[in-house]
Amino acid sequence: MKSVRGIEADSHDNIWFGDVTNHRLGKFNQKTEEFTYYRPPTSNFGAYGIVIDKKTGYLWVADYEGANVDRFDPATGKFIEYPFPSLPVHK
C-alpha cells in the first residue's frame, strides 16, 4: 500500500483505513492479525478521512476522488453514498 489515509480504531480495536491507491476501505483485525478490504460502489473511491459513529458503529468516510460522503456499515459490509452537491453551471 502506497497511500493510506484516515486511520481510526473502532470499539472492537479494529483499525480502519482508506487504501487510496487501490480505491478501497481496509480493516486490520488486531486479534487475528488479518486484513480485510471492502470495495465501495464508486470505482475511483479515495478515502481521505474516517469518523466512526460510537452509537451505531457506522464509518463515515470522506471520498475526495469520488466526490461523496460514504456511510459504511461494518455489520453488513454495505456502503451508502451521499454525493457532494454540484455547483451550478453559469453560462
Q: What pLDDT, in 10s, does the model give residues 50-70?
A: 999 999 999 999 998 888 999
Domains assigned to the chain: 4-83 (2.40.10.500)
- pLDDT score at 91: 56
Tell the burial category of 10 from Cβ atoms under 10 Å away from its Cβ (0-12, 13-18, 19+).
Answer: middle
Q: How far apart are CA 71 and CA 82, in angstroms?
A: 8
Please enumerate in sequence order all residues whose Cβ is within 8 A of that of 43, keeping only pairs 6 or more positions apart, or say none.
Answer: 23, 66
Residue type for 33, please?
Answer: E
Q: Which one, of 3, 73, 83, lies nearest residue 42 by Cα?
A: 83
- What residues does 24 pair with on adjacent strands? 19
Q: Spell out, as residue ranges, where the chain has pLDDT lower than 50.
A: none
The pTM assigned to this predicted structure is 0.86
